[in-house]
């Protein structure tokens, strides 16, 4: 039986095709932390730790310290074909550090699927090797921003995207901006809104109901208020008819139950960087299904490595957990290049999962150089 042998961290700087702007930040590059895991038979599994101190409270330094320290110690020597047992061990290896745990745990599941000779999505119980994604439009503040947003929206629709997600809450005229997007792309395109915690509850209700009254037809609104304001989230849900989605408010199946008990949301955006990996993401989806709440799979600013695991999870949830409509897995489309060879491929709004064992990731891409090293082992 092959056992987990070596874990390495790789840092890559990947320029974005265009700036990514939300209510909380602007980015021109993804500083990707990738984890490779090798078993005693020489197979490699891959994972990624999306780093965002604003969301997960982690830095590149803290992720590397957790991966090279307690997380590596927890899994080294464990069987490579028992991902459930390894996931349980990882959950108790550190306090917090969800992105670091995501990277290591996804590498564990990738390694196990390779040992079984199956693509990761089928190993998880999914059947489709294609999942649909929406496409995100950066938040607009100035008139020039709005003009650029509308031009980009038209381009995405021409490329075949049928669901657009508009970032709001950054200080612009959100009401008019979304109305302008609807007028530009027509009625056949679904429009989602993500406020990234940028509104107060009363403001959210005013804007969302104005869209409803004006016939803008917003499919859903994601995280309208601060993640800790569950009462405010419930207020928005009670006073609107547009489905309200929890993102930053819901991390695990445990805090989902508190949110549902207070009637705070209609849907949940599941992200591996919040759950700490695949095992808890499945538990969260199962708990949501039991409560009659639908889910979709999202991502942070991450590369094709993180998207490979998230898309495999999405394939499973399309089979088992009431996931419907487009997922939110467009992060790889923002990158100028992939930091790895093999793995997922994009074709318009379709995310194509590899049919090779595991995620199908083969190796680091040689075109991207290392960023500044962090930690003691590479």
Residues forming the active site = 167, 271
350, two tokens:
């379709």
Q: Provide the pairing of β-strand 135-137 with 44-48.
A: unpaired
- The structure tokens listed for 250 are 């819901």
d(CA 235, CA 237): 5
Give the up-direction half-sphere exposure of residue 23: CA atoms within 13 A in the CB hemisphere: 23
Greatest C-alpha distance within the chain: 62
Contact 289, 322 (CB under 8 A): yes
Task: Report in angstroms the alpha-carbon separations of 175 from 70, 226, 237, 241, 309.
Answer: 47, 19, 18, 17, 35
The Cα-based distances of 32 to 304, 323, 335 in angstroms read 10, 28, 11
Say which residues have a Cβ less than 8 Å from residue 328's Cβ, sequence separation at least 6. 133, 134, 136, 165, 269, 296, 297, 298, 299
Nearest to 134 by CA among 3, 269, 225: 269
Distance CA 10, CA 31 (A): 10
**3-state SS assignment for residue 281:** helix
Question: What is d(CA 221, CA 218) in angstroms, rounded to the nearest whole number?
Answer: 7
Number of neighbours of residue 234 by Cβ within 10 angstroms:
18
CA 150 to chain centre: 24
Q: Please give the C-alpha separations between residue 28 and each of 66, 171, 206, 222, 299, in angstroms, as whole numbers.
A: 26, 20, 32, 23, 17
């Amino acid at each position: 039986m092959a056992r987990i042998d070596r874990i390495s961290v790789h840092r890559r700087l990947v320029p974005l095709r265009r700036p990514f702007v939300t209510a909380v930040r602007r980015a021109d590059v993804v500083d990707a932390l990738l984890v490779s895991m090798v078993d005693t038979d020489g197979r490699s599994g891959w994972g990624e730790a999306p780093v965002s101190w604003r969301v997960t409270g982690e830095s590149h330094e803290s992720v590397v310290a957790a991966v090279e320290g307690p997380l590596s110690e927890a899994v080294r020597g464990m069987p490579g074909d028992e991902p459930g047992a390894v996931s349980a061990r990882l959950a108790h290896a550190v306090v917090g550090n969800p992105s670091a745990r995501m990277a290591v745990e996804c590498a564990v599941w990738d390694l196990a699927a390779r040992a079984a000779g199956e693509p990761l999505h089928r190993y998880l119980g999914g059947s489709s090797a294609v999942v649909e994604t929406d496409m995100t439009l950066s938040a607009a503040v100035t008139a020039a921003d709005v003009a650029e947003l509308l031009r980009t929206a038209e381009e995405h629709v021409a490329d075949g995207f049928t669901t657009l997600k508009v970032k709001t809450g950054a200080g612009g005229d959100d009401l008019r901006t979304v109305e302008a997007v609807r007028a530009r792309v027509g009625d056949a395109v679904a429009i989602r809104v993500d406020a990234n915690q940028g509104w107060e509850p009363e403001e959210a209700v005013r804007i969302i109901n104005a869209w409803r009254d004006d016939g803008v037809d917003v499919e859903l609104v994601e995280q309208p208020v601060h993640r800790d304001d569950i009462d405010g989230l419930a207020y928005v849900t009670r006073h609107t008819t547009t489905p309200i989605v929890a993102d930053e408010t819901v991390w695990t199946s445990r805090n989902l139950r508190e949110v549902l008990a207070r009637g705070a949301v209609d849907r949940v955006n599941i992200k591996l960087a919040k759950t700490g990996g695949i095992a808890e993401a499945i538990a969260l989806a199962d708990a949501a299904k039991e409560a009659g709440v639908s889910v979709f799979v999202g991502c942070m600013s991450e590369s094709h490595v993180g998207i490979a695991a998230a898309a495999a999870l999405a394939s499973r949830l399309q089979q088992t957990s009431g996931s419907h409509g487009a997922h939110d897995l467009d992060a790889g489309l923002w990158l100028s290049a992939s930091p790895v060879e093999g793995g997922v491929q994009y074709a318009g709004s379709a995310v194509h999962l590899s049919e090779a064992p595991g995620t199908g990731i083969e190796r680091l891409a040689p075109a991207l150089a290392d960023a500044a090293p962090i930690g003691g082992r590479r």
